[in-house]
Structure 1
Amino acid sequence: MAVNRQPSDQRPAADVVIDAELVRGLLRAQHPDLAALPLRPGGTGWDNVVYRLGGGLALRLPRRAAAVALLENELRWLPALAPRLPVAVPAPLRRGAPTAGYPYPWAVVPWFEGTSAALFPARVRDGYAGTLAGFLRSLHLPAPADAPRNPVRGVPLAARGDAFRTRLAGWDSFRDRHAPQAPDASVLMAVWTRALEAPAHAGKPVWLHGDLHPHNLVAGVSGNLVAVGDFGDLASGDPATDLAAGWLHFTASGHGRFRAGLASPPGPGEKAAWERARGWAVSMALVMAMHQPAEPLHAVGLHALSRLAGEAG
């Protein structure tokens, strides 16, 4: 999968140099029937370099060792999950193996024409609220016992407390320099504390996307939802993690349609799930808001923090 994204100035350093010559060589050696197709750069993210291949394919190649396990997660599980999902996802079509010149596995995936949803305002993203709800209804089904677990997604909210408080300690200083209109640390701590009081997830672990922010969604020219990408954090656990998307993507109006489209999260305790989701939302939004202002996720984070603070008020 690929999407037009603005590059981040905070990307981790790459472990390998990936260029068209390397990619063409990998194709000749492992998928020669694809090697003659037109090849052009499709973008560079935090974890992967993307090349567009022909008209409807793309290659995803990890640019650092930490991304390998994330790609292997997608290679292992997405082919089985994709047929039941109502929105297109980057289920791998071909696999690539490490070589002497490139040390990581890689994948050939569908190319989805569109733009990162983070580049649209929230009022436009409201248009796909029902579609995203339908996607989660189809995804949030009980996961098998051997489904992956993720130490930072789908876990009890309290397990993320140290990380949240560490980030929050630097928030007011960052806010004063870059976002003085944003809520201060005391307001965000109140949102977090309230979420911690909610009962824990009592149902079976369900499948989670794990990283459902707008930069991982491909939108069309009118803001319609084209595809959901980046399943590296795919895991099983508490669905409240993914419900945080309601604050990250939508205005209050769109969030209402998103929530109505979900009807009820899997398992008992609908109200508790949404309370925990607030905690996940404030934690994720704080990370995004502390990106530099040129990064689109900065605006996504500020939007969510403002909504959460307004609700708390």
Structure 2
Amino acid sequence: MTMHADQVGVTAETVAALVQEQFPRWSGRTIRPLPSAGTVNAIFRIGDDLSARFPLRQADAGEVLAVLEQEARASAELARTSPFPVPEPVALGAPGAGYPMPWSVQTWLPGTVASDADPSGSYAFAEDLAVFIAALRKAETRGRLFGGEGRGGVLAHHDDWMARCFEESEGLLDVPRLRRLWARFRELPRKGADVMSHGDLIPGNVLVAGDRLGGVLDTGGYGPADPALDLVSAWHLLRPGPREVLRRALDCDDLEWERGKAWAFEQAMGLVWYYVESNPTMSELGRRTLDRLLTSME
């Protein structure tokens, strides 16, 4: 089952043809699709040290190229800042072999994503996660501000999306209770200046090594945002004890912590209904995060 009405299919044969045509130096390498609960890209390994990412949703090729170029710049910048391994951009591919959009190649990071190796009870993992977030917060924004796309700006700007989420979630969730919670979250004031942020610290974007943080994936969204945005990781990734370790390590006051809850809530509400049939792993992530948020407020 496809996840999006406008989803574009891509196969290992297509990838092999694109590599042969555009990057012959990699021809002959084994092409393997990567099983993933990701919702934005289809991912294929090229040999042992590279991965290729193919946007799943149909869009104008020129617009996709601009996005991929920006993501490559952001990933390279984060790689210079991160104290943990992250993928680094290698190349951009062009449409071809029946695939209609540009695509990207990155270095491959070994490890197990947190959705497959649950680190939620690890205090050491929480400490590592705090080190990663703190390093990003210390990086220079160079005068840049949040760009207005997605999460990370003004909570109330998401009212229309949340209204749709509540409507679509009837029969799936306790919508009246969740509406009341959003009514409180959307009013939380913002006091901190933008800081550099990963922007999407969910289990599928975090690698685990033992009970420690092994690396961070999907770094193309790195940029300035609300300091509370990366606190979504507290609710997507951690149980109560490690969650408090993260909070103390980052010295979060009550307002920042509540805004982190709000961003996690906004993301989780969309995951539950949108992916309930097409991507059960992502839908269940949304449910688990909402349960953690609600339990923390009892």
> Greater shift after overlay, 124-133 or 235-244?
124-133
Deviations 1:19-52 (A, max 9, x none): 3333223223332222122222223642222221
The answer as to whether partners of 2:231 and 2:257 remain within 8 angstroms in 1 is yes
* Cα distance between partner residues in 2 of 1:29 and 1:43: 25
Find the partner of 1:289 among 272, 282, 296. Answer: 272
The answer as to whether partners of 1:114 and 1:226 remain within 8 angstroms in 2 is yes
* Cα distance between partner residues in 1 of 2:99 and 2:141: 33
Residue identity matched to 1:246: A
Runs of 4+ aligned structure 1 residues displaced above 6 Å come to none
* Cα distance between partner residues in 2 of 1:80 and 1:298: 31
Structure 1 partner of 2:296: 311
The structure-2 alpha-carbon separation of the partners of 1:14 and 1:143, relative to structure 1 and needing over 3 Å to count, comes to same
The structure-2 alpha-carbon separation of the partners of 1:110 and 1:288, relative to structure 1 and needing over 3 Å to count, comes to same
Flag structure 1 segments of 5+ consecutive residues without an equivalent: 1-8, 176-183, 265-269
* Cα distance between partner residues in 1 of 2:126 and 2:49: 27
Cα displacement (A) at 1:288: 2.5
Identity of aligned residues (%): 31
- 2:263 counterpart of 1:271: no
Structure 1 partner of 2:243: 255
* Cα distance between partner residues in 2 of 1:238 and 1:149: 11
**Which structure 2 residues correspond to residues 159-308 of structure 1 after superposition, within 5 A?**
159-175=157-173, 184-203=174-193, 205-220=194-209, 222-264=210-252, 270-290=253-273, 291-292=275-276, 295-308=280-293
* Cα distance between partner residues in 2 of 1:148 and 1:194: 23
Structure 2 partner of 1:59: 52
The answer as to whether partners of 2:127 and 2:245 remain within 8 angstroms in 1 is yes
Deviations 1:214-266 (A, max 9, x none): 1222224x3432221123443422121221221111111111111122234xx
What's the RMSD between the two structures over aligned residues? 2.7
> Greater shift after overlay, 52-61 or 227-236?
227-236
Structure 1 partner of 2:141: 143
- 2:24 counterpart of 1:39: no
Count, aligned residues: 290
Deviations 1:250-302 (A, max 9, x none): 111111111122234xxxxx332212112112221222333327722233222
- 2:78 counterpart of 1:85: no
* Cα distance between partner residues in 1 of 2:2 and 2:44: 21
Cα displacement (A) at 1:147: 6.5
The answer as to whether partners of 1:195 and 1:276 remain within 8 angstroms in 2 is yes
SS in 2 for 1:94: strand
* Cα distance between partner residues in 2 of 1:164 and 1:17: 29
The structure-2 alpha-carbon separation of the partners of 1:12 and 1:247, relative to structure 1 and needing over 3 Å to count, comes to same
Cα displacement (A) at 1:142: 4.2
The answer as to whether partners of 1:150 and 1:233 remain within 8 angstroms in 2 is no
Deviations 1:160-204 (A, max 9, x none): 1221232123434113xxxxxxxx23332333233333321342x
* Cα distance between partner residues in 2 of 1:81 and 1:123: 24
Deviations 1:44-77 (A, max 9, x none): 6422222212222111122333593553332122
TM-score when normalising by structure 2: 0.84
Deviations 1:120-169 (A, max 9, x none): 44644655111111111111234234567142221111111221232123
* Cα distance between partner residues in 2 of 1:174 and 1:76: 39
* Cα distance between partner residues in 1 of 2:214 and 2:276: 27
SS in 2 for 1:137: helix
* Cα distance between partner residues in 1 of 2:221 and 2:94: 21
Flag structure 2 segments of 5+ consecutive residues without an equivalent: none
The structure-2 alpha-carbon separation of the partners of 1:35 and 1:136, relative to structure 1 and needing over 3 Å to count, comes to same
The answer as to whether partners of 1:129 and 1:250 remain within 8 angstroms in 2 is yes
The answer as to whether partners of 1:117 and 1:125 remain within 8 angstroms in 2 is no
The structure-2 alpha-carbon separation of the partners of 1:195 and 1:50, relative to structure 1 and needing over 3 Å to count, comes to same
